[in-house]
Amino acid sequence: MSTAENSAAKSPALALRSNARGQLAMLIAQILFGMAVNLIGSPSEAAGAGKIATSVFLGLHVLVAIGLIVGAIRAIPQAAKIGTPERNLAWISGVVVLVTFAAGVLTLTSGSNWWSYLMAAGASATIVTYGILYVRTLK
């Protein structure tokens, strides 16, 4: 185990900071993959190379969403070791991630752009909450 890994295992703040940083990076990727799908169109709306590209972007969008759920689940016990405000914020972040994921599923199944709008709002809110968690671990 490297020194950084060993330190992260010992310090709840370092573990949460690393997780929050990862969540923020995945959220940026998530927005970019989602915008690519939005610009090209869904796989059912595209043809040829566009269909392949949008299918890849949509697949990556789904995989990152699953990673965000895993990261949200991991953040709750990490934040609980630091304090109640952090734990509450991690719970809020986790709920928003799950609601945003559900909005994504509903976007695909219903074709409604309002669900897509909820995804964007959820991603924005989650960027703020994980940003706050990240900054709180810098103390």
* Cβ pair 43, 58 in contact under 8 A: yes
Supply the pLDDT for residue 6: 56
Tell me how far CA of residue 81 lies from CA of 26, 85, 98, 111, 136, in angstroms. Answer: 24, 11, 22, 41, 13
Count H helices and E strands in the chain, helices first.
5, 0
Supply the pLDDT for residue 8: 47
Supply the pLDDT for residue 46: 87
CA dist 4 and 53 (Å) reads 37
Tell me how far CA of residue 4 lies from CA of 11, 64, 82, 112, 123, in angstroms. Answer: 10, 25, 19, 45, 29
Residue with the two structure tokens 């709840």 = 12
Residue with the two structure tokens 């609980």 = 80
pLDDT band at 4 (very low <50, low <70, confident <90, very high): low
pTM for this model (two decimals): 0.89
DSSP 8-state secondary structure symbol assigned to residue 32: H
pLDDT tens-place string over residues 37-64: 999 988 888 899 999 999 999 999 999 9
pLDDT band at 9 (very low <50, low <70, confident <90, very high): low
pLDDT band at 78 (very low <50, low <70, confident <90, very high): very high
Q: Averaged over 19-33, what is the pLDDT?
A: 97
CA dist 25 and 29 (Å) reads 6
* Cβ pair 13, 127 in contact under 8 A: no
